């Protein structure tokens, strides 16, 4: 059964929401919950926490839904197992299933952003009996591919190293990030936001030249408009406390995921679905072919939206618009 969390710092609390710890296999997941009605499970990406859904929680609650934003294992106040393989996709899907059951619900709509989008997609794919609708923000749904992920990532970038490959070596990215967590997060958030992205002649932060650091190409300037100093404090305090290893271990499991999920080669998602991407978000533009394939891969797609002038942090950059799109879609799903 859900248990109250240890008292959080006031800065993490979302007004009107309840914080809980719920039991899952091997540990506990922390979540922020608001509202009553059909359950909507909100899953964040890298490097964020449940706090990234702070704008949508009250909107969904007001619209008649029970919105629950989790800290994915390895993040925030959720448990962080030591083995790298504990962060494989099947374990994260199992966490979502356990959260649903712990909250006393039989089914849920699952909504994810960034890595959370992939977690949402696989939750719907592996347990369609429980996750009866799914929404994907920034990262489009793409079925299993016969190309081993690490092999594919290694071919991207030519003489420079693609950021996923950079993240895959245990301890390497931690050595760059953890001496200055707040500064690194500020640079990463700023570099992927509309209006504060680095100029093209500075080079993409997604590619790392030999001997360089990822942060060497981060934008240098003020925070994006969606991120206050207080908000940055919330994120940085959580990662200062937990470190980045749990979050980065998601990247270190992509080949395990590929092996685990091979039986779903070419699988389509038939549940009612929604996609929202940012026109300036590389996660969306790189996977434009996946969006174009939606008539085949997402036969239950209700609507797809590309927000002009929007970067990667979509539910924070365009909080009002995303809240409205989610609510409109949910009303269709639950009509």
Gap between the Cα atoms of 88 and 323, Å rounded: 30
Burial of 152 (0-12, 13-18, 19+ CB in 10 A): middle
Q: Is the pLDDT of residue 59 over 80?
A: yes
Q: Residue 171 in 3-state DSSP? A: coil
For residue range 105-114, list pLDDT tens digits in order: 999 999 999 9
Which pLDDT score is estimated for 201? Answer: 87
Which residues are bridge partners to 136 per DSSP? 112, 275
Quick one: what percent of the chain has pLDDT higher than 70? 96
pLDDT band at 5; cut points 50, 70, 90: very low
For residue range 149-167, list pLDDT tens digits in order: 999 998 887 889 999 999 9
Q: Is the pLDDT of residue 3 over 80?
A: no
For residue range 177-223, list pLDDT tens digits in order: 999 999 999 999 999 999 999 998 888 999 999 999 999 999 988 99
Q: Is the pLDDT of residue 253 over 80?
A: yes
pLDDT band at 12; cut points 50, 70, 90: low
Over residues 3-9, the mean pLDDT reads 45
Nearest to 248 by CA among 40, 42, 32, 47: 47
Q: Quote the mean pLDDT of the chain.
A: 94
Catalytic position from the list 30, 44, 113, 312: 312
Fold classification of 3-333 (topology level): Rossmann fold (3.40.50)
Q: Is the pLDDT of residue 233 over 70?
A: yes
Q: Is the pLDDT of residue 279 over 60?
A: yes
Residue 222: Cβ within 10 Å count: 11
233 is catalytic: no
Strands 66-70 and 207-208: unpaired
Over residues 320-331, the mean pLDDT reads 98
Q: Is the pLDDT of residue 11 over 60?
A: no
312 is catalytic: yes
Which pLDDT score is estimated for 15? Answer: 85
Gap between the Cα atoms of 216 and 223, Å rounded: 17
For residue range 72-121, list pLDDT tens digits in order: 999 999 999 999 999 999 999 999 999 999 999 999 999 999 999 999 99
Domain ranges of the chain: 3-333
Gap between the Cα atoms of 101 and 130, Å rounded: 10
Q: Is the pLDDT of residue 134 over 60?
A: yes
Catalytic position from the list 71, 95, 114, 260: 114
pTM for the model:
0.96
pLDDT band at 13; cut points 50, 70, 90: low
Q: Is the pLDDT of residue 9 over 60?
A: no
Over residues 25-47, the mean pLDDT reads 97
Which pLDDT score is estimated for 78? Answer: 97
Gap between the Cα atoms of 278 and 308, Å rounded: 6
């Amino acid at each position: 059964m859900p248990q109250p969390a240890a008292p959080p710092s006031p800065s993490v609390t979302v007004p009107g929401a309840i914080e809980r710890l719920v039991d899952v296999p091997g540990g506990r997941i922390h979540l922020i919950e608001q509202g009553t009605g059909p359950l909507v499970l909100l899953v964040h990406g890298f490097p964020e926490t449940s706090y990234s859904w702070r704008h949508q929680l009250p909107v969904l609650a007001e619209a008649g839904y029970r919105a629950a934003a989790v800290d994915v294992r390895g993040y925030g106040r959720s448990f962080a197992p030591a083995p790298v393989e504990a962060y494989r996709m099947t374990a994260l899907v199992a966490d979502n299933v356990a959260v649903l059951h712990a909250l006393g619900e039989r089914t849920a709509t699952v909504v994810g952003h960034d890595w959370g989008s992939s977690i949402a997609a696989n939750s719907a794919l592996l347990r369609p009996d429980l996750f009866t609708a799914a929404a994907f923000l920034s990262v489009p749904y793409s079925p299993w591919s016969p190309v081993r992920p690490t092999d594919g990532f290694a071919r991207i970038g030519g003489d420079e190293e693609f950021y996923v490959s950079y993240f895959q070596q245990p301890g390497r990215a931690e050595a760059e990030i953890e001496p200055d967590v707040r500064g690194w997060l500020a640079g990463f958030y700023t570099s992927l936001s509309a209006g504060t992205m680095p100029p093209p002649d500075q080079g993409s932060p997604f590619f790392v030249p030999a001997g360089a650091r990822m942060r060497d190409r981060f934008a240098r300037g003020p925070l994006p408009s969606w991120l206050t100093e207080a908000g940055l404090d919330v994120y940085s305090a959580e990662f200062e406390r937990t470190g980045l290893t749990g979050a980065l271990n998601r990247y270190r499991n992509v080949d395990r995921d590929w092996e685990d999920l091979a039986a779903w080669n070419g699988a389509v998602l038939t549940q009612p679905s929604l996609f929202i991407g940012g026109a300036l978000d590389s996660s969306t533009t790189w996977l434009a072919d996946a969006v174009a394939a939606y008539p085949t891969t997402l036969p239950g797609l209700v609507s797809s939206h590309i927000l002009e002038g929007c970067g990667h942090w979509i539910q924070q950059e365009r909080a009002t618009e995303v809240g409205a799109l989610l609510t409109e879609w949910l009303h269709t799903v639950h009509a």
